[in-house]
Amino acid sequence: MPIYRIAIGTPRDASHPDAIRAALAEFFSMLIFVFAGEGSGMAFSKIPKLSYCFILILDKCLSLISLNLVHNSPYLSLILFIFTRQVKMVISKTEFVDFFVCFLDKLTDNGSTTPAGLVAASLAHAFALFVAVSVGANISGGHVNPAVTFGAFIGGNITLLRGILYWIAQLLGSVVACLLLKFATGGLETSAFSLSSGVSPWNAVVFEIVMTFGLVYTVYATAVDPKKGNVGTIAPIAIGFIVGANILAGGAFDGASMNPAVSFGPAVVSWTWTHQWVYWLGPLIGAAIAAIVYDNIFIGNNAHEPLPNNDF
């Protein structure tokens, strides 16, 4: 029933000062969100690699042993000397060092695939998205996500032209946030989203579809639905926290973007486009399904009345 609600809008509609103002609000919300979210990812890559530190220790240690050799019995010194030479030769083999570096970096909990790293990423995105939605809620609706804007368009809640304006503002906000991060960190790489080993692009598409379905379903139920009532007060928290929860599930597999703009900014600044399509196709499909499902089943029937004996 809602399909007739899809609207193109008029150019005048999209150039109205309020539309410009709404697009600006999307820009600033996205900037705030991506700066914290992407920045938290870069913070962990900033932590000095333990492996590097360890190799320095080992080298130092072996040199000191060698220096002491002359003060001891020649024969036993020789054993130690040969042993240290052996170790040094082994260390100089690249293959071994690669394994070892991987081992030590795992040990020190740095990556985003350890529980602590995933918790940090989850909280940074949950908190920042909650805030970004809150600050934009009264001006632009607080989409802060091209997939949400697409879902709103599918459900007939925004015109096509204004939606395109939103998309431009959102993508610009993400790129500017990444440029500011690159500058503020003295040139650190803004790492683009990527798939973990063993995760195929189509696996990732399914992940993004289901997770974005959950996000846009939440947007509809807590913010769009006219029957939302009290739940509307905590809508921005719900929208931020479902992203936080999904990152704990999907973050170790495909980065859990649920948001084409979030993966677009780092891709532009680091100019890495591998699998970028995954982070557009999945979220847009998931958003469309959520919009159609929610709009038809739960909003569509205007005659709907709350169940009388079901009071919570």
Binding residues for its own copies, how many (CB under 8 A)? 151
Using an 8 Å Cβ cutoff, are 226 and 80 in contact?
no
Smallest Cα–Cα separation from 143: which of 29, 229, 2?
29
Pick one of 6, 50, 164, 292: the residue that binds its own copies (CB under 8 A).
50
185 in contact with its own copies (CB under 8 A): yes
**Closer of 135 and 267 to its own copies (Cβ):** 135
Cα gap 307→312, rounded to integer Å: 10
6 in contact with its own copies (CB under 8 A): no
Query: CA dist 183 to 35, 89, 299, Å?
Result: 12, 40, 46
Q: Whole-number minimum distance, CB 191 to its own copies, in Å? A: 13
Pick one of 70, 230, 271, 302: the residue that binds its own copies (CB under 8 A).
230
Q: Which two tokens stand for residue 204?
A: 């990732």
Pick one of 78, 273, 274, 277: the residue that binds its own copies (CB under 8 A).
78
H, E, C per residue of 209-265: HHHHHHHHHHHHHHHHCCCCHHHHHHHHHHHHHHHHHHHHHHHHHHCCCCCHHHHHH
Using an 8 Å Cβ cutoff, are 285 and 206 in contact?
no
190 in contact with its own copies (CB under 8 A): no
Cα gap 113→115, rounded to integer Å: 7
**Closer of 223 and 288 to its own copies (Cβ):** 223
19 in contact with its own copies (CB under 8 A): yes
Q: Whole-number minimum distance, CB 14 to its own copies, in Å? A: 11
Pick one of 142, 173, 266, 283: the residue that binds its own copies (CB under 8 A).
142
203 in contact with its own copies (CB under 8 A): yes
298 in contact with its own copies (CB under 8 A): yes
Q: Scanning residues 79 to 138, which ones bind its own copies (CB under 8 A)?
A: 79-80, 82-83, 85-86, 89-90, 93, 95-96, 99-100, 102-103, 106-110, 113-120, 122-128, 130-131, 134-138
Pick one of 14, 26, 30, 36: the residue that binds its own copies (CB under 8 A).
36
Q: Scanning residues 256 to 285, which ones bind its own copies (CB under 8 A)?
A: none
35 in contact with its own copies (CB under 8 A): yes
3 in contact with its own copies (CB under 8 A): no
Stretch near its own copies under the rule CB under 8 A, chosen from 167-175, 216-224, 262-270, 273-281: 216-224
56 in contact with its own copies (CB under 8 A): yes
Pick one of 4, 70, 302, 310: the residue that binds its own copies (CB under 8 A).
310
**Closer of 206 and 276 to its own copies (Cβ):** 206
Pick one of 218, 257, 259, 263: the residue that binds its own copies (CB under 8 A).
218
**Closer of 171 and 221 to its own copies (Cβ):** 221
